[in-house]
Amino acid sequence: MLKSAELRLSAGRLVDPADDSAKHYLTALRAVDPQNTALAQLTQDLGARLVAKARSALASQRVDEARGWLDQAGSIGYASPELEAARHDLYAALAHQHFLGDVVGANQLVLVKSVQPDYPGRARNRSIEGWVDLEFTVSESGAVTDVAVRDANPRGVFEQSATEALLQWRYKPVLRDSKPAAQRARIRIRFALGE
């Protein structure tokens, strides 16, 4: 079983297939020979490889996959500072993912200062009207940051002007537990002639 586990480990077959992987043979060896002196090193090697897989997934923003790898590492009894650091990074990524998903309409925020976007000269000369959907963060100070264009009509005409104007806006900071907190929001900025 030890040899099979080592072979699967070197082949990268860490947890799959479930009945022929390094984890399978490690678990089987632990069940039949819990005092085997090779168990600690095998657990260490497999755990380190699982954490490396989790780190790779986190780097590619595949948060659920990273969580799966870390759960596998924990399930074999692996413990290390690197595992704890990876878990910390996973929790931070999950919190960031939740933050990005918690988007409110800008009309739910208190606007303190706005700046009208410049109407692009080419669009004005051609009588082109349109809109830009933007997502952004209102920081703890009320400043607008991290502006991202989500959609525009027509495309390639008003996005820059809308972004530059929005970056100058200010909102009353959002309070959570009586403390200023960052908040994601969305807005549609319209470009209409004669306004």
Q: Show which of 69, 101, 133 is a domain's final residue.
A: 101
Mean per-residue pLDDT, 122-138? 96
pLDDT at 4: 94
Question: Is residue 22 domain-shared with residue 97, that is, in the same domain?
Answer: yes
Q: How confident is the model at residue 59 (pLDDT cuts 50, 70, 90)?
A: very high
Domain that holds residue 153: 104-191
Q: Quick one: 76 exposed, middle or buried, by C-beta within 10 A (0-12, 13-18, 19+)?
A: buried
The pTM (predicted TM-score) of the whole model is: 0.62
Mapping DSSP to helix (H, G, I), strand (E, B) and coil, where does residue 121 land? helix
Q: What is the pLDDT of residues 159-184, one digit of tens each?
A: 999 999 999 999 999 999 999 999 99
Show which of 101, 119, 137 is a domain's final residue. 101
- Residue 60 and residue 93 share a domain: yes
* Number of domain units in the chain: 2
Both 131 and 53 in a single domain? Answer: no
Share the mean pLDDT of the chain. 95
Q: What span, in angstroms and rounded, lies between the C-alpha atoms of 106 and 23?
A: 49
Distance CA 73, CA 84 (A): 11
Maximum distance among all Cα pairs of the chain, rounded to whole angstroms:
83
Q: Which CATH number characterizes residue 181's domain?
A: 3.30.2420.10
Last residue of a domain, one of 77, 101, 125: 101
- Angle, to 10 degrees, between the axis of helix 39-59 and the axis of helix 63-75? 170
Mean pLDDT confidence for 89-98:
90
Instruction: Grade residue 130 by pLDDT with cuts at 50, 70 and 90.
Output: very high
**What pLDDT, on the 0 to 100 scale, is given for residue 195?**
55
DSSP string, 58-119: HHTT-HHHHHHHHHHHHHTT---HHHHHHHHHHHHHHHHHHHHH-EEEGGGS-EEE--PPPP
